[in-house]
A and B are shown apart, each in its own frame.
Chain A
Amino acid sequence: MKTNDLILQTTTKVVLFIIILFSFHIFFAGHYTPGGGFVGGLLTSGAIILLMLAFDMKTVSQILPINYIYIAATGLLFAGGTAAGALFFNVPLLTHAFGHVDLPILGDTALHTATIFDLGVFLVVVGVTMTIIQTIGEDE
C-alpha cells in the first residue's frame, strides 16, 4: 500500500538544508573544534539519505544527477593533489602550508592547505557512503 508522505516530504524540504548547512559548519570547524571532513561528509550523506527516504531513488537521482563514484574520485584527487603539491616546493610529502589572506569581504582569513585535504576526505566519505547506500537500495 502506498501511503501519502506529504508531511515527511514537506519537513524534509526544510530540514535537508539545515542539515547540510550544519555539515558545512562541522567541516569548517574541524581545525579548532570537534568536527572535520569525515563527520561533515557523513552528515551530508545522511541528509541525502533522508531525501531518499522521503522520496524515492528515482526522484533523488533526478534532483541530484551525480555519479557518486566520481565524487569519491574527485575527493581522492584533492587529497592526493595536496599531498603531491608539497613536493613542488622541495618539502616532504604531505607538508602543509598556511597563511593569512585579506579577502575582499571576508576580511583577514587564515587559509590552510589542510582544508583542501579535508575537502578531499569530505568528498570521499560522501561518495563512498552514497555509493554503498545506492548499491544496496537499487537491488530489489
Chain B
Amino acid sequence: MAFQILLNVFLGFLWMFFTMSYEPVAFFKGYLFGMVILFTFRRFFGSRFYLGRVIAIISLGLLFIKELILSNISVLKLVLKPKLDIKPGIFALPTVLEKDWEITILANLITLTPGTLVVDVSDDNKILYIHTIDMDDAQEAIDSIKNTFEKAILEVSR
C-alpha cells in the first residue's frame, strides 16, 4: 500500500515537471492521472489497489461514529430505566486478528458498542475477555456486531 501511494505521489510530481507548472492544481491533476493508471494496472501489485483500503478506513471511521452514538443512547436508556433488571457477565471472544493495532482497534470498538467493555486480552492475543451489561439477549446479537467490526478491520488490513 505504501509503495502504491509513494508511486502515485511521485507521478503527481512528475506531472508538474512535464507541464512546467508548479502549482497545487498541477500536482492534483498528475495525482489523479496517476491514480487512473495505477487503477488500470492494479493487478500488477502484490496487494490490492490502495484506494479500496482508503475507502475501508473511511467506512470504519463512520462505523465507529455510528456505534458511539448508539452506545450512548442505549446507556442513557438503561440509566433512565426505573427497574434495574440487568444481568452482567464476562464472556470470551476468540478473534482472528493478528496484528497489534488490529486488536487494539477491535477492542476500542467493542468498548464503544452498546453495553460491552473489553476487560482483558489473553497472553497469546487470541481471546478477548468482554464484560457485558446484559448476558441473556446480548450474546448472539453482540457476536454479530463483532463480526461486522472484525470484517471491517480485516477489510482495511488484508
Interface SS majority for chain A: helix
A63 to B7, CA, bound (A): 18
Is the Cβ of B44 less than 8 Å from the Cβ of A21? no
A71 to chain B, nearest CB (A): 12
Contact of A107 with B41 at beta-carbon distance under 8 Å, contacts A21-B30, A25-B19 already known? no
Is the Cβ of A21 less than 8 Å from the Cβ of B11? yes
The residue on B at minimum CB distance from A106 is: B25
Residues of A within 8 A of B28 (CB): 105-106
Query: Quick one: which of B84-124 are within 8 Å of A by CB?
Result: none
Residues of B within 8 A of A18 (CB): 11, 14
What does the 1/0 interface line of B13-28 toward A look like (CB < 8 Å)?
0110011000001001
Interface SS majority for chain B: helix
Is the Cβ of A107 less than 8 Å from the Cβ of B40? no
Which residue from B7, B15, B19 sits with its C-beta under 8 Å from A14? B7
> Is there a chain B Cβ closer than 8 Å to A117's Cβ?
no
Query: Quick one: which of A1-51 are within 8 Å of B by CB?
Result: 13-14, 16-18, 20-22, 24-25, 29
> Is there a chain A Cβ closer than 8 Å to B37's Cβ?
yes
Which residue from B18, B43, B44 sits with its C-beta under 8 Å from A13? B44
> Is there a chain B Cβ closer than 8 Å to A132's Cβ?
no
Is the Cβ of A17 less than 8 Å from the Cβ of B41? yes
Is the Cβ of A106 less than 8 Å from the Cβ of B29? yes
> Is there a chain A Cβ closer than 8 Å to B38's Cβ?
yes
